[in-house]
Amino acid sequence: MFVSSNEKRNTMKSFSFSLALIVLQAVVAVSLPAQEPAGTKIYGGSGYFMTGYSRMDPAALNARFSEQGLPALPEGGWFLGGGGHYIFRNLILGGEGGGVISSPATGPRYNVTSSGGYGFLNVGYVVLSRGSILAYPLVGAGGGGMSVLITDRTGLPDSFDALLRDPVHQSLLMHGGFMMNFSVGIDWFVGGGQEGSGTGGWLVGLKAGYLLDTADDNWMLDDRKLTGAPAAGMSGFYVRITLGGGGFVRK
């Protein structure tokens, strides 16, 4: 039976997200002390820096690039960003944002580079509270964009004036729109000690999730939408390390 490339990508996305959930659940199950008594509520907050790997979805773009002799874009890159949230009776409200930087693709005639960024307002809920560790799912809504820069390396000008006379050696394609964020996270507060029912200090954490880019074929050159553009964007699985500070109390 024939399986399309889109079906293969969707299967891989589902598998990656499920694997991340299993790993996080395993970490919680084997590494944490006894759970807090039923009815305990968490209050607190934190701020953090994030870095890690983020996949993107350039397969449709790369198929078109290959037809025209352009090099293929990488399927992901390194994420750098930050965020924070407030916790009230286990309910989490916060935000995060950052950008993805990927390696350039070089061919005999063309260079192609891609990058992207996004920001989300997140809502979540603390589902596990054990010792100085919290675990929670998050759902976020916001927006983001991806850019692809295509450079024709042949006949590049060697002076500034020559460039101004013929500034057509690069094309910057822009893609953006509404995005959603689905993730799970673990925060471990270290170094600050515990006082009664509270804890605080440095935060070391792990997040894994999936970004959903709904913009599809919304590709622009300058202020003009390109017809016949492929459906590709920033959808993909990610894993991040979080470093920061904060604290919480139990009531």
Question: 118 is written with which tokens?
Answer: 């996004």
What are 66-70's contacts with CB under 8 Å, separation 24+? 69/107, 69/108, 69/109, 69/110, 70/105, 70/107, 70/110, 70/112, 70/150
* Residue 196 predicted with pLDDT over 60: no
> What torsion, rounded to 10 degrees, do the Cα atoms 71, 74, 80, 86 define?
130
Dist. CA 97–CA 233, nearest whole Å: 17
Farthest-apart Cα atoms in the chain, separation = 73
Which one is predicted more confidently, 122 or 70?
122
Angle between helix axes 5-31 and 59-67 (nearest 10 degrees) is 140
Q: Which residues pair with 147 in a beta bridge?
A: 115, 174
Place of tokens 């993805």: 100
Q: Where are the domains of the chain?
A: 42-250
Query: What's the distance, Cα to Cα, between the start and end of the chain in Å?
Result: 57
Dist. CA 164–CA 183, nearest whole Å: 47
Q: What is the pLDDT of residues 205-247, one digit of tens each?
A: 999 999 998 877 788 888 888 888 888 888 899 999 999 999 9
Q: String of b and e for 105-114 (b: at least 16 CB within 10 Å)?
A: beeeebbbbb
Q: What is the pLDDT of residues 175-195, one digit of tens each?
A: 888 999 999 999 999 876 665
Percent of the chain with pLDDT over 70: 82
How buried is residue 156: exposed, middle or buried, by Cβ count under 10 Å (0-12/13-18/19+)? Answer: exposed
Task: Specify whether domain 42-250 bears CATH 3.40.50.410.
Answer: no
| Cβ atoms within 10 Å, residue 203 | 23
How buried is residue 151: exposed, middle or buried, by Cβ count under 10 Å (0-12/13-18/19+)? Answer: middle
> What torsion, rounded to 10 degrees, do the Cα atoms 142, 247, 47, 210 define?
-40
Dist. CA 186–CA 32, nearest whole Å: 11
Q: What is the pLDDT of residues 35-84, one digit of tens each?
A: 556 568 999 999 999 999 998 888 888 899 888 888 998 888 999 999 99
The mean pLDDT value for 105-119 works out to: 90
User: How far is CA 7 from each of CA 2, 3, 11, 148, 181, rounded to the nearest angstrom?
Assistant: 10, 6, 6, 25, 21
pTM comes to 0.78
> What torsion, rounded to 10 degrees, do the Cα atoms 35, 40, 43, 48 define?
20
